[in-house]
Amino acid sequence: MRVEFNNISKSIVSGQNSKKQNNISEISLRENLSSPVKPSVSNLIAHAGNISFSGPLNLNLTLPKNSETIKYFAELLLQHHPREIKYSAIKILGSIKRHDAADALIEGLSCTNRNVKIRIIAALENTKNPESRKALNKILNGEDDELKLFAAVSLGNMGYKEAIPELIKGLDHTSDYKRSMSVVALGNVGEPEAIPDIIKVLKDNNEIIAAKASEALQKIGMKLRQG
């Protein structure tokens, strides 16, 4: 049976307020789900009623990790749908350790929405796929400083050394969040060359970031002891 995806975008309920406009019709969602995916999502709908997309769908579901599931969520990511639907598709695709799921995420990097791109970059670190590494390195070697840092974080969390220079730059970022994710990623790379820069972060004004710097040093020390 061929699954039609176009009706999902038509199922946004019109109403007097933005909340109603952001609701997805339960019937339309049911009709647009292929058989392996349908039971789990239908169960969610049965308990939650219409789904309000004030944030990403909380799809902590047991889904079959097969080609039909990947195709369905790839369509949600790649076609014209509200970004909250795309966010949920990214989360699910990132949780599936298959090359075709990684391929769908990589294809999604061609989108123009910056926040969608950032979420895809974060999801790619979970795929453990050689093509994901290539895609992230392409961003790392690009012109966009913010995307370069997010790519470096994903590469660092995957343990790749090429992320180190950009992550060290991230330690001086004005954003607490970006300093924090940079120092955590350096700890996950586990290379001693980053130790002097991480030591400086121990004096960060944010105590949480300083604590994460200490944890990063411990991780590197443990890796060195293990040889």
pLDDT at residue 61, rounded to an integer: 53
pTM exceeds 0.85 for this model: no
90, 7: one domain: yes
pLDDT at residue 103, rounded to an integer: 97
Judged against a pLDDT cut of 50, whether residue 17 lies above it is answered with: no
Of 128, 161, 186, the residue at which a domain comes to its end is 128
110, 175: one domain: no
> pLDDT tens, 74-102?
999 998 888 888 998 999 999 998 999 99
107, 83: one domain: yes
123, 156: one domain: no
Domain holding 146, by residue range, is: 142-227
166, 191: one domain: yes
Higher pLDDT, 33 or 66: 66
108, 146: one domain: no
87, 199: one domain: no
- In a domain? residue 87: yes
Share of the chain above pLDDT 70, in %: 72
> pLDDT tens, 96-111?
989 999 999 999 999 9
Judged against a pLDDT cut of 50, whether residue 54 lies above it is answered with: no
> pLDDT tens, 190-203?
999 999 999 999 99
- In a domain? residue 220: yes
162, 106: one domain: no
pLDDT at residue 62, rounded to an integer: 62
- In a domain? residue 135: no
152, 93: one domain: no
Q: How many domains does the chain divide into?
A: 2
Judged against a pLDDT cut of 80, whether residue 25 lies above it is answered with: no
65, 95: one domain: yes
> pLDDT tens, 171-227?
999 999 999 999 999 999 999 999 999 999 999 999 999 999 999 999 999 999 987
Mean pLDDT of the chain: 80
74, 19: one domain: yes
43-60 mean pLDDT = 39
Return the sign of the alpha-carbon dihedral for residues 79, 74, 22, 29: positive
pLDDT at residue 20, rounded to an integer: 39
109, 161: one domain: no
Judged against a pLDDT cut of 80, whether residue 10 lies above it is answered with: no
Judged against a pLDDT cut of 80, whether residue 11 lies above it is answered with: no
Judged against a pLDDT cut of 70, whether residue 113 lies above it is answered with: yes
